[in-house]
Amino acid sequence: MTTYTAPVDEMMFLFDNLKDNKRYNEIEKYKEINSELVKGILEEAAKINQDLILPLAKSGDENPCVYENGVVRTPPGYKEVYKKFIEDGWTSLSCDPKYGGQGIPKTVSTFFEEMLSSSCLSFKLYSELSIGAYNCILTHAEQNIKDKFLPKIVEGKWSGTMCLTEPQCGTDLGLLKTKAVLQEDGTYNITGQKIFITSGDHDLTENIIHLVLARISDAPKGTKGISLFLVPKYNVTDDGKVGTRNGVSTNSIESKMGIKGSPTCVLNFENSKGIMIGPKNKGLNSMFTMMNLERIVVGIQGLGIAETAFQNALAYSKDRKQGKANNSANGETDLIIRHADIRRSLMNMKSIIEGQRSFAFWLSQQIDVSLSHDNKEVRDDASNMVALLTPVIKSFFTDNGMDITNDAIQVFGGYGYTKDQGIEQLFRDNRITPIYEGTNSVQAIDLVYRKIANEGIFENFISVIDNEIKSFGDVKDINNLINVFDKYKEILVSFTKWMREKIKANKDDASAACNDYLKVLGYTAVAFSWLKTMKISYENKDKNNDFYEDKINTGNYYFEKILPKAQTHYVVGTSGSSSTMNAKFN
C-alpha cells in the first residue's frame, strides 16, 4: 500500500508568499482568510486524508463497486468515511454560506482537491461531481430551485452528476438523442440513455441530482438544440424532502482499468421528471460552467496522484540498495538514490510537481477573481484568462502525471509492477485523467481553435506575465533566468503566430501541431511560476536556508532540464503535417 504525507508546508509557502494577485486581494470577503486559518484547515485536511481516506484506495481497488439487485454498493469502508467526511463539513468548504457553505476561496480549496486526489481518487469523485453540480445550479437555476436543492448538496446528504455522453456520442454532443417532452405543470419527461456517468448511482447519499443534457421536440439540430435538465433520482417534495422514486435506473456499471471504487454507470431515463435549468436550447452553455471547472479539477487530480507517486518513489530510493554509484568511495552496495539516473528521475518529478502546484495556485487566484470581484470588467478579464489556461491545466498536468507515475514504477523496478507496493494502482487510476472531461487532444484543439485563434486573450496573458516579471528586476540572482525565460516566451509567441497563419492557410498543419502547442504553453507557464517562486526564495533564503536553497536548486533544474523540452515541441509542431496526412494505413 502507498503512503502519503500532505505537503502542507509547500502549500503554505504558496499561500503566504505568492498570493499576490492585486485583483484577488481586492475581494472584500476573502480578506479574513488569513494564514492561521488556512494552516488550520490544511492540517485538518491532512489528517482525514492520511488517516481515513488513503486506506480506501487499496480497499476500493481490491473490492470494487458492485451492482446487485438494482443497487450499486460502494467498497468496504466508504460509507463510514463518507459519513465522517460530510459531518466535518468538507463538502461545504468552497460553497456559498447562503446555502450552508464555508465560503473558502479556490486558492485554498484547490489544495484540498489535491490532497483528496493524492489519497484516493475514487473516493474523491463522489463529492467532486457534487460540487460541479452545485456550481452549475448556483449559476443557472431559478432561485426557488437553488433554495430547494443546494443546501442538501452542500451538506453532502445529496450528491450530483453530469450526464452528457451517450452510446453514439461523446465529444460530438450534436449527435445527442435523449428527449425532453414538456408537461402541463412545466416540468419535462426525459427519456434516453447516458453512459460513462461517474458516481451515477451509489449508496452514500439519500438522493442523487443528475444534470442531464437532452433535446426538446422542436429543438434545432446540432449543439444549438440542447437543453439542460435537473433530474433527481428521487423526486423532491415542495418542502425539500425526498419523495417517490423518479424514472431513473442503473442499467450496469463498467468494469474498468482503474478508479474501481467509483462506479461508472449506464443510466436509463424513462419518462423521468426533469426541471429545465437555464435558457431553452442553451444547455451546453450552462453545462460548460460545470465542465470547465471540472477540467481544472481533473488537472489537479493528475498533480495529486503524481505527488503520491513521487513520495513513494523517493522513500523507496532511500531504502533499496543496488550496485555501486559513481560517487561511491566504499566497496559496499549503495542505496539507489545515490545513482545519478535515479536522482534525475526524482528531480524530474519534483521540479514538475512543485512548478505545477505553484501555477495552479496562480490560476486559482484568477478563478476567484472571475467569480467574486465586484467589477464586471475585471471578472471578465479573469474569466478569459481562466478559459485560456483551462485546457493547459487539464492536459499538461495529467500528461505529466502519467509520465511521473510511469517513472515511479521504473524507480521501483520489478516491485513497481506488482500490486504489493501500490504504485501500479496509481498508474491505473491516473490513466483516466487524460481521457475524461474531454480527451487531452480535444483540449489541445479547443485551446488552439477557440482561444488562440481569437486575438486578445493570449496577448493579455503575455502582458500579465511581462508586468509581473518587471517587478523582479531588483533580485539580481534571477536575471539570467529571466533572459532564458524570455527566449522561451518568444518561442511561444512565434508558435502562436505560426498557428494563427496555419488555421487560415492549412488546417491540417494547425491540427497536427495542437498538442505540441499546448505543451509549449504549459512548459512556459510553469517556468513563469518557477520564476515567481525563485524570486521569493532568493529574497528569503537567509531565513530558512535549507528550504529556500532547495527551492532555488529545484527551480534551476526545471530551467536546465525540463523547460528545453518546449523547444523540441516547437520544432516538431512547426514541421508541418504532410508526412502525417500522406500516410497509408491500408
Catalytic annotation on 437?
yes
* Contact between 214 and 227 (Cβ < 8 Å): yes
Which is the catalytic residue, given 294, 437, 455, 468? 437
Q: Minimal CA–CA distance to 31: which of 107, 84, 93?
A: 107
Residues in the chain: 586
* Contact between 423 and 409 (Cβ < 8 Å): yes
Q: Is residue 441 packed enough to be buried (19+ CB in 10 Å), middle (13-18) or exposed (0-12)?
A: middle
Q: Which residues contact 486 (CB under 8 A, 6 or more apart)?
A: none
The DSSP line for 389-407 is: HHHHHHHHHHHHHHHHHHH
Cell of residue 439, nine digits: 480527451
Q: How far apart are CA 280 and CA 366, in angstroms?
A: 30
Q: Minimal CA–CA distance to 448: which of 384, 526, 503?
A: 503
| Cα-based angle 211, 216, 221 (whole degrees, multiple of 5) | 105
* Contact between 90 and 112 (Cβ < 8 Å): yes
- The b-or-e profile of 373-382 (16+ CB within 10 A means b, else e) is beeeebbebb
For residue 101, give Cα distances in angstroms to 42, 134, 155, 509. Answer: 17, 11, 8, 48
| Cα-based angle 565, 571, 575 (whole degrees, multiple of 5) | 145
Residues involved in catalysis: 437
